[in-house]
Amino acid sequence: MTSSAPIIILHRPQLGENIGSAARAMLNFGLTELRLVSPRDGWPNPAADTLSAGAFQAGVSVGVFETVEAALADLGTVLATTARPRGMEKDVVDAAGGVQLIQARAQKTGILFGAENHGLPSEVVGLADAILTYPVNPSFASLNLAQAVGVFCASWGASQGAVGRWEGEKAGVEPPASKEDLIRMFEHLEEELERAGYFYPPDKTPLMKTNIRNAFIRGNWTTQEVRTFRGAIKALAHGRGKARVVRDD
Amino acid sequence: MTSSAPIIILHRPQLGENIGSAARAMLNFGLTELRLVSPRDGWPNPAADTLSAGAFQAGVSVGVFETVEAALADLGTVLATTARPRGMEKDVVDAAGGVQLIQARAQKTGILFGAENHGLPSEVVGLADAILTYPVNPSFASLNLAQAVGVFCASWGASQGAVGRWEGEKAGVEPPASKEDLIRMFEHLEEELERAGYFYPPDKTPLMKTNIRNAFIRGNWTTQEVRTFRGAIKALAHGRGKARVVRDD
């Protein structure tokens, strides 16, 4: 967890369940500081504990404040989440844009989320440096509070190398097969197909081979997978009783 | 909602609350097809209705399947969500990468999510074209099921122009003030500050002015805001009793 992770601030939250779920989502994505402004049911709240999956014990700290001004006092940058722009002269960012803004400013940052029933009052939005909103379905725009927190936290998490990023990588432990191994596999396959009378008419054979090779190449196979498939080719060729000679390399 | 929005598939979900919350998050971001594979408590489920905020009535359809194979039968591309890679030879993408993959393939797509307690069995992950995972906190990696659905849906939603995107735009309805208006405002302010003896020592005056101008320019004010502030300057200058002459342009 980087020390610069934003602080999540819930303004007058109503349901302990949402506070707990928000804390769980925060810690899932490496955020550890939660501030509550006048939570309706006080604090601590057993319903929050139940839904937190242990997040409060595992690292999320909670500060309780009477006023939003007190909760924001030590922050440099504040984003206020709203379901839609309020006609205010503020930048409006989505989750990814919000993360970019926070990183560009590199200040202690808080993300404000409003109550379940009314969202943030305009005077609270007015305290923020920018508005954070999500491109939602206009006819079903009301997000659950914990979901709204989770969507932001996931964007933050995705920007943090520290918690891991796997985009475009391979899950497997084995490196891909060498092209040499692949080509031998292709030759093996084609030889057996040839023997089986598969390639017809002869003038289409090169194109048919290329199409097959392309299909296999996309799979990006490992050495083991190549080995396995060569065994399969051998078995198929034997099984059908058409191969007189079986390669053994 | 585009017709190509992915289908969300919950494999053996346990809690109706999570099914309902997932449906709400889906519809928030424009996804409308939910499939359930052997939901533990059957279907329909009153707990799901309660947490859905009306999503089932407002547009989310539900199909119930006995097997995962049946639930995937008509799909071209399937992503399986897991908390971490399984050592399988599959591409691994995060939420944004998953959306890119789906859009590149442009096939009917399903996103598989596992049960609350065990996630997806490996044989189900094996049916998928790629693994979807989020860069989570390794020491607190277990997402709530509905949160996991919501994070993907938000990424999908953010990629869809149809549901609106505001990144970098202005929320306000007024255009910014012209530079001419701004410069007149600066001159007004500086004239009054000059009169008030603010600029001292004289050789620092140009730098002080530049610093002030820079601070104001960052605000990207509207004409109305310039007008308002000029009224404020005037008032301040009068109020302090230091202004002999008040500009009136």
Looking at this predicted complex, what is its ipTM?
A: 0.73
Residue type, B183: I
pLDDT level of residue B50 (50, 70, 90 thresholds)? very high
* Model confidence at B118: pLDDT above 50: yes
Contact by Cβ (8 Å): A124, A112: yes
Task: Calculate mean pLDDT across residues B236-243.
Answer: 53
Contacts of B174 in chain A (CB under 8 A): 89
Interface with A, mutate which of B139, B167, B169, B224 (most A CBs under 10 A) = B167
Checking if the pLDDT of B53 tops 70, the result is: yes
Render B224-239 in DSSP notation, one character per residue: HHHHHHHHHHHHHHHH
Report the alpha-carbon distance of residue B147 to residue B153 in Å, rounded.
Answer: 10
- Interval A194-242: pLDDT, tens: 887 778 788 888 877 877 776 676 666 778 788 887 877 777 776 543 3
Determine which helix (DSSP H) or strand (DSSP E) holds B202, and give its type and residue range.
none
List, as ranges, residues 6-35 from B with C-beta within 8 Å of A.
21, 24-25, 27-30
Q: Phi/psi of residue A75, each to 5°?
A: -95, 150
The whole-number pLDDT of residue B247 equals 44
From chain B, pick out residues whose CB is under 8 angstroms from the CB of A91.
Answer: 168-171
Using a CB-CB cut-off of 8 Å, the residues of chain A touching B170 are 89-92
The answer on pLDDT for A168 being more than 50 is: no
Residue B28's pLDDT is what?
95
Cross-chain Cβ contact A151/B146 below 8 Å = no
A53 touches B at CB < 8 Å: yes
State if pTM tops 0.80: no
Tokens representing residue B175 in the block: 């255009």
Contact B171 A92 (CB under 8 A): yes
How far does the CA of residue A114 sit from the closest CA of chain B (Å)?
17
Residue B171: pLDDT band (50, 70, 90) is: very low
pLDDT at A82 over 50: yes
Q: For residue range A185-206, what is the model confidence (pLDDT) as tens digits?
A: 888 888 888 887 778 788 888 8
A227 is written with which tokens?
A: 């080995």
- Retrieve residue B245's tokens: 């002459």
| Nearest chain B Cα distance for residue A247, angstroms | 27
Average pLDDT over residues A35-54: 97
Task: Examine the pLDDT at A155 and tell me if it is beyond 60.
Answer: yes
Contact A141, B28 (CB under 8 A): yes
Q: Is a pLDDT exceeding 60 seen at residue A157?
A: yes
Strand A77-81 and strand A130-132: the pairing is parallel
